[in-house]
Amino acid sequence: MTSDIENKEWLNDYPALKQVNKNNPFTVPVGYFDELGQRITARIYLEELKNKMPLSGFAVPENYFEDLNSNIQSKVNIEKALGTENTGFTVPENYFEELGSNIQSRIFVEEALKGDTGFTVPENYFEELSSNIQSRVFVEEALNIEHTGFTVPENYFEELNSQITSRIFVEEALMNADETLTVPQDYFSKLNQSILNKTVNQVVVKRKEAVIRRMFSSTAFKYATAACLMIMAGTGIILQRAFTPEAIHNRSYLHKELSNIPVGDIKTYLELDADDTQHTLNNDVDLDDVSLDDLQKNANGTEK
Amino acid sequence: MSAQVEDEEILRKFQDEKTRNEAFNLLLNKYQQKIYWHIRRMVIDHDDADDLSQDVFVKVWKNLPGFRSDAQLYTWMYRIATNECITFINKKKQKNNISLDDVAYELADTLADSSYFNGDQAQKKLQQALLTLPEKQKLVFNMKYYEDMKYEEISQVLGTSVGALKASFHLAVKKIESFLLAQD
């Protein structure tokens, strides 16, 4: 660790660093290095002790940890077994003492029964049983496949899928069509009540007492009807007379003016002006053919 | 070098069961302070350095029987100490879930609060500048600046080539110089 010449020359290039005192600025507690060696030695001793005795001086019996698992499990099993004594179940008296002989007796009986059951089978029955069952199964399957007795139209199963799909489509379409018809809100709830009111609850419904008037059998109605008929008949007659040609003529202005003229004046007029009116009388009515009564009637009628 | 001879003497005595404790006491007396200061400059805190120093020598005791004399004894011990320091800092970083920069800030606080630091303001600034460096650059600088170790010796400690160490040292010094100038 000797210093070389380069180590001191490089410092001249850095004046700021060169001004710093190169002495160690750090300090240690008093006597630190005097005790450091002892403390390191003590530390090493403890480390070695720890390595030599990983259990800090405690020891365990040989193979303790190898057997520990099985020992714990045995202890647990024993605890469980002891815990079953007080489960609340009981057995008959001397049950466990007689259990061994009972089991042996039962075994003896079972073996005796197995030896001769009293039933017999044909010779080689069990040897041939397997092949017989298989043959039977084969025959049954063949019969089931070929002769079920039912037939279907040709290509039935090939078209079944599309038919089902079409049917579903139609059903859905019909359902959708039904769904388009609507009823007023709460129609069905009210309908039920309405039906009940009209049927079952009919007695319960209070109705206003109606006053029955028999109009056709009353006397007043009879008289009124007769009066109306009379009025209608009278009105009809009056109207019929009022609109006859004679009645219309009587109401005319000419008739009124003529009726004011005396009959004598009319005769005189007619006689004086016979020449002037001859032609007209000849063409229309012969004045001689008209009776005096008619003229009088006519004159009276206009006077009235 | 007399130190190397003494190392050989220590190793020879350590091989003998009867003189093993004596050899280890010689080794402690010779290197305990060097190892301690090497660790202290890395972890700053005295108590941490104390724990790590003991750990290092316990490992030396355990592994010294297998030590091959093709390497120098002190560089072998420095390597153990360096690995312990890096492991400690990484554990501290993982334990507190903080970054390397945060570790540096924490160590700077430790430096400020430490009652075992009697350096002047410039020395304190230098330590603060060292805390900003990556671990490897800090190691190289410490071994070169404070311990005057050769690049070959540092190379044996860190397992890095001399050229890489020179580059690391150069970078470290430039950063420190910049830090010190910036603080002035």
Asked if residue B128 lies in contact with residue B108, where contact means CB atoms within 8 angstroms, the answer is yes
In a domain, A108, yes or no: no
> Based on the domain organization, do A245 and A261 belong to the same domain?
no
Nearby residues of B86 by Cβ (< 8 Å), 6 or more positions away: B135
> Based on the domain organization, do A302 and A262 belong to the same domain?
yes
Model confidence band, residue B53 (pLDDT cutoffs 50, 70, 90): very high
In a domain, A24, yes or no: yes
Q: Which of A35, A52, A69 is the last residue of a domain?
A: A52
Is residue B34 over pLDDT 50? yes
**Number of Cβ atoms within 10 Å of the Cβ of A126:** 8
Residue in B84, B76, B73, B80 with CA at minimum distance from that of residue B14: B73
> Based on the domain organization, do A257 and A298 belong to the same domain?
yes
Asked if residue B136 lies in contact with residue B160, where contact means CB atoms within 8 angstroms, the answer is yes
Which amino acid is located at B67 in the chain? F
Model confidence band, residue B175 (pLDDT cutoffs 50, 70, 90): very high
Asked if residue B175 lies in contact with residue B182, where contact means CB atoms within 8 angstroms, the answer is no
Domain that holds residue A256: 252-304
CB pair distance less than 8 Å for A40 and B46: no
In a domain, A304, yes or no: yes
In a domain, A272, yes or no: yes
Is residue A165 over pLDDT 70? yes
Rounded CA-CA distance A193/A197 in Å is 6
Show residues of chain A in contact with B29, CB under 8 Å: 37
CB pair distance less than 8 Å for B123 and A21: yes
> Based on the domain organization, do A247 and A259 belong to the same domain?
no
In a domain, A287, yes or no: yes
Which of A160-174, A187-201, A235-249, B118-132 has maximum average pLDDT?
B118-132
Q: Hunting for tokens 């080794």 — which residue is that?
A: B27
| DSSP string for residues in B79-140 | HHHHHHHHHHHHHHHHHHT--HHHHHHHHHHHHHH-SSB---HHHHHHHHHHHTS-HHHHHH
DSSP category for residue A209: P
In a domain, A151, yes or no: no
In a domain, A180, yes or no: no
pLDDT at B80: 96
What domains can be seen in chain B, in order of their start residue?
Answer: 1-117 (1.10.1740.10), 122-184 (1.10.10.10)
> Based on the domain organization, do A260 and A297 belong to the same domain?
yes
> Based on the domain organization, do A246 and A256 belong to the same domain?
no
Give the residue with greater pLDDT, A198 vs A83. A198
> Based on the domain organization, do A241 and A261 belong to the same domain?
no
Contact status of B38 with chain A (Cβ, < 8 Å): no
Show residues of chain A in contact with B150, CB under 8 Å: 1-2, 4
- This model's pTM is above 0.90: no
Overall domain count for chain A: 3
| DSSP string for residues in B159-180 | T--HHHHHHHHHHHHHHHHHHH
| A contact test, residue of B17, B46, B184 with most A CBs within 10 A | B46
| CB neighbour class for A124 (10 Å; exposed up to 12, middle 13-18, buried from 19) | exposed
What b/e readout covers A133-157, taking b as 16+ CB neighbours within 10 angstroms?
eeeeeeeeeeeeeeeeeeeeeeeee
| B contact test, residue of A22, A26, A47 with most B CBs within 10 A | A26
In a domain, A45, yes or no: yes
Residue in B71, B73, B86, B84 with CA at minimum distance from that of residue B134: B86
Rounded CA-CA distance B81/B59 in Å is 10
Rounded CA-CA distance A115/A122 in Å is 18
pLDDT at B62: 92
Give the residue with greater pLDDT, B154 vs A258. B154
